[in-house]
């Protein structure tokens, strides 16, 4: 028998055995403590530490939070924002800075922080789908002494190791917008389901009953995508529209364009598209134009980025649901400063949103002064 | 042994020839690592903290483990572009079956499935004599597509905590991903430098015809390289699963480029024949350290991409000049 083959088989076995041996030594630890990681060194005296990533009985649904407050009511309830200590630094980990929505949100955060003489360090992943990269950035940022951490994870759980570390060292974590951590202790953002509902209501009021419509979703499994899609689909169906297709395009413009082109070819009587974000909506608008159907198929996006506003003015986009990212960024810093100052802030703080069409496209967006 | 006869330079041994040419290469990445550490520590003292060093080790471990396997393929003169897709497919299959199978069988499944996917790569490359670039480009798409089909495009969340802790907790104060990387490095080093298989891998990469004539089972050797690369990619996907607690069909997208960057920066030649396991690990750590340092300094994440690319170019240029000066002597 060939000795090289023998040796290489042995090598493969070695790899497997080596890994198994290394791990089996630990397996005996964990079998006796199956519930949690309490055998690790970092937890406190309590048997299970509750963090923003501990799911509890049900995952936290921001749209139905019992302990929620509209951002306009916060000052009335809690008083002014506490003055931060000099040199306070806040860390912000965004999804991805290649999307104007998140750029605006980050700007809102930076500008608001500057008003209080506080700095916000903003980092993000290098793509909409680099979850490990986002986690790596977050964990690295924790080396700095931030007074609070603002997080907008790419998925419900990819930032959990960093969140747990931060809360373990008593750094408050504020979940901003999307995605939503399973047990987020503090969250700021718009009502995601309402995004979809607003779009559906517009289509119901402008399209004949029984019209065929389609949804282009964001990243599968992510809270905002799920809620927006559900809000739209439930409302549209109840309102007499026929949702013929619903496909994810991962917040990606090119993917959305291709998916839309396919759906247009499949359903020649299609009357409308609803996209979970503006980037994708613009891609869909391209597909609609390319098929010669501009004006015959409605395209409604979500987010309210500047390109969407321009597209509405030029007629390429029918409408968008603006969730005012700049304002959301501002509010998130205010809430962070309240948390740093020790105030008891309600678990969910809601920021506004509005359906933007040709009629109100030139109205100014609300911002905090 | 026949191989020695074929390659022995005047007054030297096969071993010393191969090892001698590597020292300048590992030196390159070691110097780069030292320079990086010095520069970043000056700019941000926290860079050198124990916390940060451990953090960098953990972050580099996923790519480094996969890179070890790809090093073994590259040394034979081949390449494996499908490593990222193997990570993706293995991670979704394991995540889906973790609950029913339990932890240990899932580990075996990950490594076994990875090895099997590598076997397919190796068979088409070596036995059917197709260019490994083309074969693994094809499997990059096939495996990724299978991952999407397997999960219908949806991610799998909520992996069992005890599985995650197994791979993420610390033993003796050092997180397990680092131990696993250490173990995989030692095994890979032994395979490449202290086994007949390793000699065969390097011989095939240096001169395939000569290797064949000296009795090296070229096909089997090449296939074995791909199998090992696949197995290590499977191990890497376990680390990935534990780290983010979820599996998605898009997991591992783009890994092939990071892995090849680590291998190239570490001094392994893409032409084959010469490789450094230690260099690969150092290369992965170097790339991770640069990214971490830039994040600590709050540099724009897009600029980080540019810097990483520039470092890769510099590493290759240093390589080239080191080789030229060696040739002149």
Any domain includes B246 = yes
Distance from CA of B306 to the nearest CA of A (A): 11
Long-range contacts at B18-22 (CB < 8 A, ≥ 24 apart): B18/B202, B18/B274, B19/B193, B21/B274, B21/B326, B22/B267, B22/B274, B22/B276, B22/B279
CB contact under 8 A, B250 and A129: yes
Cβ within 8 Å, pair B235-A8? no
Band of the pLDDT at A93, cuts 50, 70, 90? very high
The reported pLDDT for the residue numbered B118 is 97
What does the alpha-carbon distance between residue B277 and residue A234 come to, in Å, rounded to a whole number? 56
The CA-based dihedral angle spanning residues A146, A151, A157, A159, taken in that order and rounded to the nearest 10 degrees: -40
Is the pLDDT confidence value at A338 over 80?
yes
A38 vs A46: CA distance, rounded Å: 9
> What is the chain A residue with the closest CA to B224?
A8
pLDDT of A268 reads: 92
Mutation target for A interface from B295, B300, B306: give the one with most A CBs within 10 A: B295
Residues of B in contact with A145 (CB under 8 A): none
Q: Which B-chain residues 22-51 have CB contacts (< 8 A) with chain A?
A: 46, 49, 51
| Distance of alpha carbon A137 from alpha carbon B301, whole angstroms | 9
Interface test with B, best of A1, A2, A3, A4 (most B CBs within 10 A): A4
CB contact set of A205 (below 8 Å; sequence gap of 6+): none
Q: With contact defined as beta carbons under 8 Å apart, do A337 and A81 qualify?
A: yes
**Residue B33 corresponds to which tokens in the numbers above?**
């690592």
The whole-angstrom distance between A358's CA and the closest CA on chain B is 35
Per the CB < 8 Å rule, is A140 touching B180? no
Beta strands A319-322 and A354-356 are antiparallel
For residue range A100-122, list pLDDT tens digits in order: 899 999 999 999 999 999 999 99
In contact, A215 and A248? CB cutoff 8 Å: no
* Yes or no, beta carbons of A157 and B245 under 8 Å apart: yes
Q: Kindly report the nearest CA distance between residue A325 and chain B, in angstroms.
A: 20
Dihedral angle of Cα B63, A23, A19, B234, to the nearest 10 degrees: -50
Per-residue pLDDT, A349: 93
**Phi, psi dihedral angles at A274 (to 5 degrees):** -120, 125
Which residue in B240, B125, B214, B182 sits closest to A18, CA to CA? B182
Q: What is the pLDDT of residue B6?
A: 41
pLDDT at A17: 52
Q: CB of B36 within 8 A of CB of B290?
A: yes
* Residue A160 tokens, joined: 């959990």
Would you state the pLDDT for residue B322? 66
H helices present in chain A, as ranges: 3-32, 71-78, 100-115, 131-141, 160-168, 192-206, 223-238, 253-266, 278-290, 306-314, 325-340
Q: Which residues contact B59 (CB under 8 A, 6 or more apart)?
A: A136, A139, A140, B288, B291, B292
- A-B C-beta contacts closer than 8 Å: 171
Q: Strand A119-125 and strand A89-96: pairing?
A: parallel
Q: How far apart are CA A105 and CA A99, in angstroms?
A: 10
Closest-CA residue of B relative to A8 is B197
**Could you tell me which of A247, A216, A195 has the C-alpha nearest to residue A353?**
A195
Which CATH number is correct for A192-322, 3.40.50.460, 3.20.20.70, 1.10.1050.10, 3.40.50.2300? 3.40.50.2300
Nearest-by-Cβ selection for B187 from A11, A139, A248: A11
Residue A33: helix, strand or coil by DSSP? coil
Q: Which long-range contacts (CB under 8 A, 24 or more apart) does A67-72 make?
A: A67/A346, A67/A347, A67/A348, A68/A346, A68/A347, A68/A348, A68/A349, A68/A350, A69/A346, A69/A348, A69/A349, A69/A350, A70/A349, A70/A350, A70/A352, A71/A188, A71/A327, A71/A331, A71/A349, A71/A350, A71/A351, A71/A352
Percent pLDDT > 70 in chain A is: 85
CB pair distance less than 8 Å for A140 and B224 = no
Helix (H, G, I), strand (E, B) or coil at A221: coil
Q: Determine, for residues B155 and A37 on separate chains, whether the beta-carbon distance falls below 8 Å.
A: no
Best interface-test mutation with A: which of B200, B244, B245 has the largest number of A CBs within 10 A? B244
How many angstroms separate the CA atoms of B111 and B239, rounded? 12
Cβ-based contacts of B240 with chain A (< 8 Å): 132
Whole-number pLDDT of residue B313? 85
Smallest CA–CA distance from A137 into chain B, residue: B295
> Considering only CB atoms, which chain B residues are within 8 Å of A34?
162
Strands (E), B177-270: none
Q: How many domains does chain B have?
A: 1
pLDDT of residue B79: 94
> Average pLDDT of A301-327?
93
- Contact criterion met (CB below 8 Å) for B33 and B279: no
Nearest chain A Cα to B151, which residue? A220
The answer to whether the CB of B191 falls within 8 A of the CB of B69 is no
B125, B91, B142, B139: which is closest to B224 by C-alpha? Answer: B125
The per-residue pLDDT for A2 is 47
- Per-residue pLDDT, B298: 84
Residue A87: per-residue pLDDT: 87
Per domain, the residue ranges of chain A are 62-189+325-351, 192-322
B108 in a structural domain: yes
Segment A135-140 shows an average pLDDT of 91
Q: What is the reported pLDDT for B267?
A: 86
Q: What is the DSSP secondary-structure string of B9-27? A: PTT--HHHHHHHHHHHHHH
**Pick the residue with more confidence: A199 or A178?**
A199
CA–CA dist B295, B289 (Å, integer)? 10
- Residue entry with tokens 């992965």: B284
Q: Which residues of B fall within a CB distance of 8 Å from A23? A: 104, 107, 166-167, 176
Question: What does the block give as tokens for A193?
Answer: 């389901």
Whole-angstrom CA distances from B149 to B146, B153, B172, B222, B250 are 5, 7, 41, 30, 12
User: Across the interface, do B197 and A248 touch by the CB < 8 Å criterion?
Assistant: no
Task: Count the Cβ atoms, other than its own, within 10 Å of residue A306.
Answer: 11
Which residues, other chains included, contact B40 with Cβ-Cβ below 8 Å and sequence gap of 6+? B47, B289, B293, B296, B297
Taking CA–CA distances from B112, the nearest residue in chain A reads A16
Residues of chain A neighbouring B222 (CB-CB closer than 8 A): none
Q: Which of B52, B190, B220 sits opposite A5 (nearest CB)?
A: B220
- pLDDT at A25 exceeding the cut of 50: no
Residue A103: alpha-carbon gap to chain centroid: 13
Provide the 10 A C-beta neighbour count for residue B97. 13
Mean pLDDT, chain A, rounded, equals 84
Q: Å from A232 to nearest chain B CA? A: 20
**Does residue B10 lie in a domain region?**
no
Taking an 8 Å cut-off on Cβ atoms, the answer to whether B169 and A143 are in contact is no
Q: Are A244 and A268 in contact (CB under 8 A)?
A: no
Residues in chain B closer than 8 A to A140 (CB atoms):
52, 55, 59, 292, 295-296
**Out of A7, A37, A121, whose CB is closest to B165?**
A37
- Residue pair B266/B154 in contact (Cβ under 8 Å)? The answer is no
ipTM of this predicted structure: 0.71
B250 CB within 8 Å of a chain A CB:
yes
Q: At A91, which helix (H) or strand (E)?
A: strand A89-96
Task: State the residue range of the domain holding B162.
Answer: 24-33+49-322
What is the phi-psi region of residue B172: left when phi exceeds 0, alpha when psi lies from -120 to 50, beta otherwise?
Answer: left
For domain A62-189+325-351, the CATH superfamily is Response regulator (3.40.50.2300)
Nearest to A135 by CA among A106, A156, A105: A156
* Per-residue pLDDT at B3: 44
Instruction: Collect all residues of chain B within an 8 Å Cβ-Cβ radius of residue A156.
Output: 157, 246
Ranges under pLDDT 70 in chain B: 1-25, 319, 322-329
Average pLDDT in the A325-351 region?
93
Q: Which of residues 92-121 of B touch A (CB under 8 A)?
A: 103-104, 107-108, 111, 115
Round the average pLDDT of chain B to a whole number and report it.
86
pLDDT over 80 (residue A1) = no
Of the candidates B35, B29, B55, B34, the one whose C-alpha atom is nearest the C-alpha of residue B296 is B55
Q: Which of residues 167-196 of B touch A (CB under 8 A)?
A: 167-171, 173, 176, 179-180, 183-184, 187, 190-191, 195-196
Interface test with B, best of A37, A136, A252 (most B CBs within 10 A): A136
């Amino acid at each position: 028998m060939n000795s090289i083959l023998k040796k290489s088989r042995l090598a493969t076995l070695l790899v497997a055995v080596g890994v198994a041996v290394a791990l089996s030594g630990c397996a005996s630890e964990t079998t006796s403590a199956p519930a949690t990681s309490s055998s690790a060194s970092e937890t406190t005296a309590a048997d299970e530490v509750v963090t923003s990533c501990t799911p509890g009985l049900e995952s936290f649904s921001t749209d139905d939070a019992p302990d929620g407050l509209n951002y306009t009511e916060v000052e009335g309830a809690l008083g002014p924002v506490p003055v931060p200590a000099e040199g306070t630094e806040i860390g912000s980990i965004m999804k991805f800075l290649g999307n104007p929505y998140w750029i605006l949100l980050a700007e809102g955060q930076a500008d608001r922080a500057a008003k209080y003489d506080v700095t916000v360090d903003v980092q993000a992943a290098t793509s909409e789908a680099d979850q490990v990269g986002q986690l790596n950035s977050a964990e690295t940022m924790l080396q700095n002494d931030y007074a609070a951490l603002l997080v907008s994870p790419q998925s419900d759980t990819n930032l959990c190791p960093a969140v747990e570390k931060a809360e373990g060292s008593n750094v408050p974590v504020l979940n901003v917008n999307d995605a939503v951590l399973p047990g987020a202790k503090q969250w700021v953002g718009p009502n995601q389901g309402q995004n979809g509902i607003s779009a559906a209501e517009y289509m119901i009021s402008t399209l004949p009953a029984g019209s065929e419509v389609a949804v282009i979703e964001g990243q599968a499994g992510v809270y905002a995508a799920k809620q927006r899609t559900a809000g739209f689909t439930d409302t549209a169906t109840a309102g007499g529209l026929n949702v013929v297709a619903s496909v994810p395009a991962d917040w990606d413009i090119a993917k959305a364009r291709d998916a839309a082109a396919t759906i247009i070819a499949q359903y020649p009587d299609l009357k409308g598209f609803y996209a979970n974000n503006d980037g994708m909506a613009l891609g869909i608008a391209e597909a609609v134009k390319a098929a010669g159907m501009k004006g015959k198929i409605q395209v409604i996006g979500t987010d309210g980025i500047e390109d969407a506003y321009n597209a509405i003015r030029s007629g390429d986009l029918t409408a968008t649901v603006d969730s005012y990212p700049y304002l959301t960024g501002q509010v998130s810093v205010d809430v962070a400063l309240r948390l740093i100052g020790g105030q008891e802030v309600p678990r969910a703080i809601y920021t506004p949103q509005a359906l933007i069409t040709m009629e109100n496209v030139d109205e100014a967006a609300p911002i905090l002064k | 042994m026949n191989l020695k006869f074929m390659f022995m330079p005047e007054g030297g041994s096969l071993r010393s020839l191969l090892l001698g040419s590597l020292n300048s290469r590992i030196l390159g990445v070691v110097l780069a690592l030292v320079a990086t550490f010095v520069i970043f520590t000056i700019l941000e003292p926290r860079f050198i903290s124990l916390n940060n060093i451990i953090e960098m080790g953990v972050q580099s471990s996923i790519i480094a483990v996969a890179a070890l396997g790809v090093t073994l393929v590259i040394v034979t003169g081949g390449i494996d572009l499908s490593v990222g897709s193997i990570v993706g497919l293995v991670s979704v299959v394991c995540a889906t079956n973790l609950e029913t199978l339990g932890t240990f069988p899932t580990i075996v499944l990950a490594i076994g499935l990875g090895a099997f996917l590598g076997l397919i790569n190796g068979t088409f490359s070596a036995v059917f004599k197709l260019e490994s670039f083309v074969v693994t480009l094809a499997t990059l798409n096939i495996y990724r597509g299978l991952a999407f089909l397997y999960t219908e495009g949806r991610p799998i969340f909520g992996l069992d905590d005890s599985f995650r802790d197994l791979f993420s907790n610390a033993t003796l104060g050092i997180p397990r991903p680092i131990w696993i990387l250490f173990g995989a490095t030692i095994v890979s080093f032994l395979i490449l430098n202290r086994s007949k298989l390793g000699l065969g891998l390097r011989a095939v990469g240096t001169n395939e015809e000569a290797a064949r004539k000296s009795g090296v089972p070229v096909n089997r050797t090449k296939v074995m390289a791909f199998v090992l690369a696949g197995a290590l990619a499977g191990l890497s996907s376990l680390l990935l699963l534990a780290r983010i607690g979820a599996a998605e069909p898009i997991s591992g997208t783009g890994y092939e480029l990071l892995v090849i960057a680590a291998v190239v920066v570490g001094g392994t030649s893409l032409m084959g024949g010469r490789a450094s396991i230690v260099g690969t690990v150092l290369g992965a750590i170097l790339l991770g350290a640069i990214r971490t340092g830039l994040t600590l300094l709050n540099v724009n994440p897009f600029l980080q991409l540019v810097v990483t690319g520039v470092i890769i170019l510099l590493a290759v240029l240093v390589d080239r000049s080191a080789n030229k000066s060696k040739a002149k002597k």
